[in-house]
Every structure is written in C-alpha cells, then in structure tokens.
Structure 1
Amino acid sequence: MAGDEVSDLDKNRALVDWLRYRLRQAESRVRELEVAERQERARVERARAERSWKIQPQRSNESALLHRGGCGLFTEPMGYISRQDAVVALAQPEIEPCPVCAPETDLDP
C-alpha cells in the first residue's frame, strides 16, 4: 500500500514538532532549577548571616552598634564579622550592643 506511507517530509515535520515540545520541557525545567538554586543561595546566605555579626558605624554623637548578622535594624550592605571579632568589638568602649537583636547573648563564654 504505497498510498499509506508517511513521507520523509511529514516524518521530519513530526520530529521537529516533537523536538520543539522537548525543548519547551527542558527550558521549563531549567527555569525551575534556576529558581531553586536562587532560593538555596538565599537560604545559605541567611544561615551564614544568622551565625555572624555586623557593626553599624558610629553616627554623629551616637555609639557604633554591634548587631547579629540577621538583624533587620541595620541592613546596609556591610561585611560580616566572626564571633571572635564580635567579642573584641563589644569590648571596645565606642561599640554598644544593639538593643533590639541583643548580639551579646550569643557571645557569652
């Protein structure tokens, strides 16, 4: 039955349609994985911030403040410091602990 054969053109059109379908699926999966990766990076950064401290620079006649890394009272992009550095900073007379996040509670020996 020669009339029932599928032509090479029709086979290739079907292949192109299938490949486009698979490409859309792959692109969708890539977008999902990118979102998951961004969320994981944000989670890791939040966890790192919670284990760190940061110093808010002194303003006019106020003291500098030591904050926990995740404190929302001081959110300017600054580097985090280690526990040891936070202990040293808190011993300085010009640096006080933040009254909101109370960073000194995690610095007790």
Structure 2
Amino acid sequence: MRGINSSLKEVQRVTATFDKVADIIAETSEIDRETITPESHTIDDLGIDSLDFLDIVFAIDKEFGIKIPLEKWTQEVNEGKVSTEEYFVLKNLCAKIDELRAAKA
C-alpha cells in the first residue's frame, strides 16, 4: 500500500508542476492553454522563440523558487551531449524542475 501512495503522490506532483508550467507558458507566450500538452516541444511544437523562453524560465524560477541552469542546458544541447527533447519537451522539463526543487529542499 505504501508504494501505491507514494506513486500517487509522485503523479500528483508531476501533474501539478505541468499545470503550473503550462499556465506560465500560456500567459507568457499567448499560446492557447488547451494546446499545451506534456508531449509538447516548446520550440518545435509551440513555436516559442528564445526571448519568450527566457521570460518563461524567469517565471518558472520565480514560481518554484529555483534557478534553472539554462546556460548549462543550452551548452549540453549545442555540444550534442543531450537532445533538445531532454530539456524542451514539457514532461521532461517538468521532471527537471522537480529534480531542482528536490535538490533545494
């Protein structure tokens, strides 16, 4: 029973993170909230440009009390160490946000 409860809490936390991030994206980029899904790629699917993404990251940092290492992530993508999907598909971005929050706690 304990495993089920912790799994449920994990799903609820991830869903709450996604909902907040999707709301931030919709507000910052004037994208219809209903079109934003966990599978959405912020650049390829949603068409968010680099300036809007900086605004989104700033708002996420403020909302969650974290500091997204955007410069490091961009460097890793540019050097081919990770694909853009690692950081820019929303479900993956939300997982990274949750990791940063857990590390700060």
Q: TM-score, normalised by structure 1?
A: 0.32
- Higher normalized helix content (fraction of residues): 2
Q: Please say which structure displays the higher CA radius of gyration.
A: 1
Which has the bigger relative contact order, CA under 8 A and spacing at least 6? 2
Per residue, is there more strand in 1 or in 2?
1
